[in-house]
Structure 1
Amino acid sequence: MTMTALNNGALRQLLPAALALAGTALSFGVTATPSHAAASYYAVTLASPLDAPKRFVNGETPWACAGSECTAPRDTSRAAVVCARLVKKVGPIARFATPEGELAAEDLTKCNAGK
Protein backbone atom coordinates (compact mmCIF):
# COMPACT_ATOMS: atom_id res chain seq x y z
CA MET A 1 0.00 0.00 0.00
CA THR A 2 1.24 3.44 -0.76
CA MET A 3 1.10 6.48 1.47
CA THR A 4 -1.44 8.10 -0.84
CA ALA A 5 -3.86 5.23 -0.38
CA LEU A 6 -3.50 5.49 3.40
CA ASN A 7 -4.03 9.26 3.31
CA ASN A 8 -7.15 8.95 1.11
CA GLY A 9 -8.62 6.30 3.41
CA ALA A 10 -7.88 8.37 6.51
CA LEU A 11 -9.39 11.48 4.89
CA ARG A 12 -12.56 9.58 3.99
CA GLN A 13 -12.95 8.55 7.61
CA LEU A 14 -12.15 11.97 9.07
CA LEU A 15 -14.23 14.07 6.66
CA PRO A 16 -17.67 13.06 8.08
CA ALA A 17 -16.43 13.62 11.63
CA ALA A 18 -15.00 17.04 10.72
CA LEU A 19 -18.26 18.05 9.00
CA ALA A 20 -20.30 16.88 12.00
CA LEU A 21 -18.08 18.89 14.35
CA ALA A 22 -18.38 21.99 12.17
CA GLY A 23 -22.17 21.60 11.98
CA THR A 24 -22.42 21.23 15.76
CA ALA A 25 -20.29 24.32 16.33
CA LEU A 26 -22.38 26.33 13.86
CA SER A 27 -25.70 25.26 15.36
CA PHE A 28 -24.44 26.06 18.86
CA GLY A 29 -23.43 29.53 17.72
CA VAL A 30 -26.90 30.14 16.29
CA THR A 31 -28.75 28.93 19.39
CA ALA A 32 -26.44 30.80 21.77
CA THR A 33 -27.16 34.13 20.07
CA PRO A 34 -29.67 36.20 22.07
CA SER A 35 -32.97 36.22 20.21
CA HIS A 36 -34.07 39.61 21.53
CA ALA A 37 -31.35 41.36 19.57
CA ALA A 38 -33.05 40.74 16.23
CA ALA A 39 -36.61 40.41 17.43
CA SER A 40 -37.50 44.02 18.25
CA TYR A 41 -41.10 44.70 17.33
CA TYR A 42 -41.97 47.64 19.55
CA ALA A 43 -40.00 50.88 19.26
CA VAL A 44 -40.80 53.31 22.04
CA THR A 45 -39.55 56.81 22.82
CA LEU A 46 -40.02 57.86 26.41
CA ALA A 47 -41.04 61.41 27.32
CA SER A 48 -38.07 61.56 29.74
CA PRO A 49 -34.86 59.55 29.41
CA LEU A 50 -33.97 56.98 32.05
CA ASP A 51 -30.97 57.61 34.30
CA ALA A 52 -29.42 54.25 33.38
CA PRO A 53 -30.10 51.43 30.90
CA LYS A 54 -32.80 49.10 32.13
CA ARG A 55 -33.90 45.57 31.21
CA PHE A 56 -37.12 44.15 32.64
CA VAL A 57 -40.02 41.85 31.89
CA ASN A 58 -43.41 43.54 31.78
CA GLY A 59 -46.22 41.00 31.64
CA GLU A 60 -44.49 38.39 29.50
CA THR A 61 -42.60 40.90 27.34
CA PRO A 62 -38.86 41.47 27.86
CA TRP A 63 -37.99 45.15 27.42
CA ALA A 64 -34.62 46.81 26.91
CA CYS A 65 -34.39 50.56 27.51
CA ALA A 66 -31.47 52.96 27.16
CA GLY A 67 -31.80 56.71 27.42
CA SER A 68 -35.23 57.53 26.05
CA GLU A 69 -35.49 54.50 23.72
CA CYS A 70 -37.07 51.12 24.55
CA THR A 71 -37.51 48.02 22.40
CA ALA A 72 -39.17 44.64 22.83
CA PRO A 73 -40.30 41.63 20.82
CA ARG A 74 -43.95 41.25 19.85
CA ASP A 75 -46.53 40.57 22.56
CA THR A 76 -49.87 38.85 22.01
CA SER A 77 -51.77 41.88 23.34
CA ARG A 78 -52.97 44.88 21.35
CA ALA A 79 -50.42 47.70 21.04
CA ALA A 80 -52.55 50.02 23.21
CA VAL A 81 -52.58 47.45 26.03
CA VAL A 82 -48.81 46.91 25.79
CA CYS A 83 -48.34 50.69 25.86
CA ALA A 84 -50.51 51.12 28.97
CA ARG A 85 -48.55 48.37 30.78
CA LEU A 86 -45.25 49.99 29.83
CA VAL A 87 -46.30 53.44 31.09
CA LYS A 88 -46.77 51.94 34.56
CA LYS A 89 -43.12 50.78 34.52
CA VAL A 90 -41.26 53.64 32.83
CA GLY A 91 -43.55 56.68 32.86
CA PRO A 92 -44.99 58.77 30.00
CA ILE A 93 -44.35 57.73 26.42
CA ALA A 94 -43.79 60.20 23.58
CA ARG A 95 -43.91 57.66 20.72
CA PHE A 96 -45.05 54.02 20.50
CA ALA A 97 -44.49 52.26 17.18
CA THR A 98 -44.61 48.80 15.61
CA PRO A 99 -43.68 47.72 12.06
CA GLU A 100 -47.34 48.43 11.18
CA GLY A 101 -47.05 52.08 12.24
CA GLU A 102 -47.26 54.41 15.20
CA LEU A 103 -49.95 54.46 17.85
CA ALA A 104 -52.45 57.23 16.99
CA ALA A 105 -52.18 60.44 19.04
CA GLU A 106 -55.54 59.76 20.73
CA ASP A 107 -54.48 56.22 21.68
CA LEU A 108 -51.12 57.50 22.96
CA THR A 109 -52.93 60.04 25.16
CA LYS A 110 -55.13 57.26 26.58
CA CYS A 111 -52.05 55.09 27.09
CA ASN A 112 -50.28 57.81 29.09
CA ALA A 113 -53.45 58.37 31.14
CA GLY A 114 -53.47 54.68 32.06
CA LYS A 115 -56.61 53.87 30.10
Structure 2
Amino acid sequence: MKTVAAITAALVALTSAAPALAQANYYAATPKAEFAKSSVVTRSTMWKCTGGTCTAPRTGERDAVLCELVVQRVGALASFSAGGTAFGEDALAKCNARAR
Protein backbone atom coordinates (compact mmCIF):
# COMPACT_ATOMS: atom_id res chain seq x y z
CA MET A 1 0.00 0.00 0.00
CA LYS A 2 2.87 2.39 0.78
CA THR A 3 4.33 1.69 -2.65
CA VAL A 4 1.08 2.66 -4.38
CA ALA A 5 0.91 5.88 -2.35
CA ALA A 6 4.52 6.70 -3.21
CA ILE A 7 3.97 6.08 -6.92
CA THR A 8 0.80 8.17 -6.88
CA ALA A 9 2.61 11.03 -5.12
CA ALA A 10 5.44 10.88 -7.68
CA LEU A 11 3.01 10.97 -10.61
CA VAL A 12 1.16 13.94 -9.14
CA ALA A 13 4.47 15.80 -8.66
CA LEU A 14 5.55 15.11 -12.25
CA THR A 15 2.18 16.10 -13.68
CA SER A 16 2.12 19.39 -11.80
CA ALA A 17 5.71 20.19 -12.80
CA ALA A 18 5.09 19.80 -16.55
CA PRO A 19 3.20 23.11 -17.02
CA ALA A 20 5.88 24.97 -15.09
CA LEU A 21 8.61 23.51 -17.29
CA ALA A 22 6.68 24.42 -20.44
CA GLN A 23 6.24 27.99 -19.20
CA ALA A 24 9.98 28.27 -18.46
CA ASN A 25 10.67 28.07 -22.20
CA TYR A 26 7.68 29.98 -23.53
CA TYR A 27 9.92 32.33 -25.53
CA ALA A 28 12.89 31.23 -27.63
CA ALA A 29 15.31 33.58 -29.37
CA THR A 30 18.20 32.40 -31.53
CA PRO A 31 20.78 35.13 -32.17
CA LYS A 32 22.37 35.27 -35.63
CA ALA A 33 25.81 35.78 -34.09
CA GLU A 34 27.22 33.72 -31.25
CA PHE A 35 26.11 35.03 -27.86
CA ALA A 36 28.66 34.16 -25.18
CA LYS A 37 26.70 35.03 -22.04
CA SER A 38 24.68 32.38 -20.22
CA SER A 39 21.91 34.80 -19.29
CA VAL A 40 20.53 38.24 -20.06
CA VAL A 41 17.78 40.40 -18.55
CA THR A 42 15.26 42.48 -20.51
CA ARG A 43 13.27 44.74 -18.21
CA SER A 44 12.13 42.12 -15.70
CA THR A 45 12.52 39.00 -17.88
CA MET A 46 15.43 36.63 -17.24
CA TRP A 47 16.64 34.83 -20.36
CA LYS A 48 18.77 31.67 -20.05
CA CYS A 49 21.09 31.06 -23.01
CA THR A 50 22.49 27.64 -23.91
CA GLY A 51 23.29 25.88 -27.15
CA GLY A 52 22.87 29.03 -29.23
CA THR A 53 19.31 29.75 -28.07
CA CYS A 54 17.99 31.98 -25.30
CA THR A 55 14.74 31.02 -23.57
CA ALA A 56 12.47 32.81 -21.13
CA PRO A 57 9.22 32.23 -19.26
CA ARG A 58 5.97 33.83 -20.34
CA THR A 59 5.66 37.47 -19.28
CA GLY A 60 3.13 40.27 -19.38
CA GLU A 61 4.92 41.90 -22.34
CA ARG A 62 3.49 41.68 -25.83
CA ASP A 63 5.44 39.19 -27.93
CA ALA A 64 6.66 41.82 -30.42
CA VAL A 65 7.84 44.11 -27.61
CA LEU A 66 9.75 41.30 -25.91
CA CYS A 67 11.39 40.40 -29.21
CA GLU A 68 12.55 44.00 -29.64
CA LEU A 69 13.87 44.06 -26.08
CA VAL A 70 15.90 40.88 -26.53
CA VAL A 71 17.48 42.03 -29.83
CA GLN A 72 18.69 45.13 -28.01
CA ARG A 73 20.64 42.83 -25.67
CA VAL A 74 21.78 39.97 -27.91
CA GLY A 75 21.77 41.44 -31.43
CA ALA A 76 19.84 40.41 -34.53
CA LEU A 77 17.93 37.14 -34.35
CA ALA A 78 17.80 34.22 -36.76
CA SER A 79 14.48 33.18 -35.16
CA PHE A 80 12.06 34.12 -32.39
CA SER A 81 9.08 32.16 -31.11
CA ALA A 82 6.41 32.66 -28.48
CA GLY A 83 4.48 29.70 -27.14
CA GLY A 84 5.88 27.46 -29.87
CA THR A 85 4.78 29.77 -32.69
CA ALA A 86 7.64 31.23 -34.72
CA PHE A 87 7.59 34.83 -35.87
CA GLY A 88 7.07 35.20 -39.60
CA GLU A 89 9.65 36.79 -41.86
CA ASP A 90 8.08 40.28 -41.69
CA ALA A 91 7.63 40.25 -37.90
CA LEU A 92 11.20 39.04 -37.41
CA ALA A 93 12.56 41.75 -39.75
CA LYS A 94 10.63 44.42 -37.82
CA CYS A 95 12.02 43.03 -34.56
CA ASN A 96 15.59 42.90 -35.90
CA ALA A 97 15.34 46.56 -36.93
CA ARG A 98 15.75 47.30 -33.19
CA ALA A 99 18.99 45.30 -32.91
CA ARG A 100 22.00 46.99 -31.35
**With structure 2 as the length reference, what TM-score do the two structures score?**
0.69
1:46 aligned partner? 31
User: Is the contact made by 1:49 and 1:67 (CA closer than 8 Å) also made in structure 2?
Assistant: no
Secondary structure of the equivalent of 2:39?
strand
The answer for unaligned runs of 5 or more in structure 2 is: 1-12, 14-19
User: Is the contact made by 1:58 and 1:86 (CA closer than 8 Å) also made in structure 2?
Assistant: yes
1:58 matches 2:42 = yes
State how 1:1-115 maps to structure 2 within 5 Å.
38=21, 39-50=24-35, 52-114=36-98
The number of equivalent residue pairs is 79
**With structure 1 as the length reference, what TM-score do the two structures score?**
0.61
Secondary structure of the equivalent of 1:85?
helix
RMSD of the alignment, in Å?
Answer: 2.1
**Shift in Å at residue 53 of structure 1?**
3.6
Secondary structure of the equivalent of 2:98?
coil
- Identity percentage of aligned residues: 39
In the alignment, the residues of structure 1 paired with residue 92 and residue 58 of structure 2 have an alpha-carbon distance, to the nearest angstrom, of 18
Measured against aligned partners, the alpha-carbon deviations of 1:61-103 in whole angstroms (never above 9, x if no partner) come to: 1101124210000111111110000000000001001225111
Following TM superposition, the consecutive aligned residue runs of length 4 or more in structure 1 with deviations greater than 6 angstroms are none
In the alignment, the residues of structure 2 paired with residue 78 and residue 100 of structure 1 have an alpha-carbon distance, to the nearest angstrom, of 15
Higher RCO (Cα < 8 Å, 6 or more apart): 2
Distance change (3 Å), C-alpha of 1:69 and 1:88? same
Secondary structure of the equivalent of 1:45?
strand
In the alignment, the residues of structure 2 paired with residue 94 and residue 75 of structure 1 have an alpha-carbon distance, to the nearest angstrom, of 22
User: Is the contact made by 1:56 and 1:62 (CA closer than 8 Å) also made in structure 2?
Assistant: yes
Secondary structure of the equivalent of 2:90?
helix
